[in-house]
Structure 1
Amino acid sequence: MNHFLLCIQLLCLAFIIGGGAALGGTIRPLFTKAMVHSKAVHELESLHISVWNAYNRFSLIAISLFVPLQIISFTITKQFQILSISLSFILVVLFLIKIIIDAHLKKRALDNNLAFESSEQKNDHKKVEYISILILILSTIEIFVIQ
């Protein structure tokens, strides 16, 4: 039973790490290049944010599934790992923060009155990038901690 739970937990973390790496490594550069050479900047920015929003929501579901599985695993093995559960809760909070920031980004991207290249938009993109990097690092650490 514990091996089954571990497999599901690793699958959740693999989704978070794989999706974040794929979006950050491929989708972001493609959208960035396309936005530079396109007249439909607002539409591309909105699409870019929508893709990340979908990933963030599914990743939040994955880490929210991970936490109860972790608690069940702890009760079966009778080994409570404070580092592991702490990392899980930090990841939940980071995904919630990303979703909130992305909502602001999408609102600004859809609102034609606010400039696409505004300093607020750039700052929020930087925050999301840093949070994404932190999520990838913490998720990778979590893989080693739960094994």
Structure 2
Amino acid sequence: MLEELYRDLRDELIRWCTTMTQDRSTAEDLVQEAFWKAINNEAMLQTMTPPQRRAWLYQVVKNLFIDRTRHAAYEAVMEELPETAGDELPSEYDSLLSQDLLRRLPEDERVLFVLRYIEGYNSTELGKLFSLSPGAVRAKLFSARQHLKKELED
């Protein structure tokens, strides 16, 4: 079943993915990853009809592309963040947001927190940067504030 799926859909998926990525090599990597996922989910795929398998593979490739895009954006932002956030904090935040507190935040929350409250980005801008909805950004920022609040209480 997997061999047939590979034979029938590989080239089609690569063409579609090349359109998304604008790079054939990246497209081939994404399609290969998708087929690895198919191998790991063979039992589930066998319960599906051929059109469902095709749709599943397209969705997997799309999700892998989104994950890579988010990761690349995240890496780019991480390279631009200052090594010591404490030096750039407004004075009213000095005692509240020490480097030690920021280090205790989960990495994704820390990046968003620094970009929002120190660099001045808004939720919409951060959402575009990380391919997240503004609501998801606000939820992560809320979680970061809760983590900081808990750290301050301890």
TM-score normalised by the chain length of structure 1? 0.29
Q: Which has the higher helix share?
A: 1
The structure whose Rg is larger is 2
Higher relative CO (CA 8 A, sep ≥ 6), structure 1 or 2?
Answer: 1
